[in-house]
Amino acid sequence: MHRIPLQLLRPDHAPALLDFERENRAWFAASVPDRGDHYFAHFDARHAELLAEQAAGQHFFHVLVGDGGEILGRVNLVDVADGSAELGYRIAERAAGRGLATAAVREACALAASEYGLGTLRAVTTLDNAASRAVLARTGFTAGEEFVLDGRPGLCFVRDLREAADREVPGR
């Protein structure tokens, strides 16, 4: 798959983003907690809230938009405070397994350091989500403490962005 640059979330992304979330709901629910029916029923209001929070610098929401205008993934930096944020990402089922998540997370790390002035990112995933753990390892995150996420064992990962932004992890 060719490189698809991250786009900062905008109001006009709403229809494609809702399609992305609906089309991939079951796929996502297999590895992360489901957003619930309320998310879909009140999507427009929630989208407006997120854009307002982004404008206030609380979060940075990004989407990967395909050639046809469809959303292929999203990469979010949430709870921005004290030079740190939490990274989260979702890739469409039809785009999975082609390196898109790894490229998008690398780009998000670079943006976090250069555009948003962040020094540290955290990410969480369940132990049974091998693909997500691999993406985080390939992009320079280090596994830390264990926890429980939606009743499933998980790991917290951390990335120090003050290291080289294009750092490659040997052997991965």
Three-state secondary structure of the chain: CCCCCEEECCHHHHHHHHHHHHHCHHHHHCCCCCCCHHHHHCHHHHHHHHHHHHHCCCCEEEEEECCCCCEEEEEEEEEEECCEEEEEEEECHHHCCCCHHHHHHHHHHHHHHHCCCCCEEEEEEECCCHHHHHHHHHCCCEEEEEEEECCEEEEEEEEECCCCCCCCCCCC
| pLDDT computed for residue 86 by the predictor | 97
Question: How sure is the predictor about 78, in pLDDT bands with cuts at 50, 70 and 90?
Answer: very high
| Superfamily grouping for domain 6-160 | Gcn5-related N-acetyltransferase (GNAT) (3.40.630.30)
| pLDDT computed for residue 167 by the predictor | 46
Domain ranges of the chain: 6-160
- The one-letter amino acid code at 162 reads R
| pLDDT computed for residue 155 by the predictor | 92
| pLDDT computed for residue 39 by the predictor | 82
Question: How sure is the predictor about 79, in pLDDT bands with cuts at 50, 70 and 90?
Answer: very high
Q: What percent of the chain has pLDDT over 90?
A: 67
- The one-letter amino acid code at 145 reads E
Q: What is the pLDDT of residues 17-57, one digit of tens each?
A: 999 999 989 888 777 767 877 888 899 999 999 999 999 99
- The one-letter amino acid code at 56 reads A
* Cα(82)–Cα(166) distance, integer angstroms: 23
- The one-letter amino acid code at 119 reads G
| pLDDT computed for residue 165 by the predictor | 43
Question: Model-level pTM?
Answer: 0.87
Tokens of residue 77, six digits: 């930096």
| pLDDT computed for residue 30 by the predictor | 76
| pLDDT computed for residue 110 by the predictor | 95
Rounded to whole angstroms, what are the CA distances from 107 to 30, 74, 90?
A: 26, 12, 14
Asked if 95 and 37 count as a contact pair (C-beta separation under 8 A), the reply is: no
| pLDDT computed for residue 171 by the predictor | 39
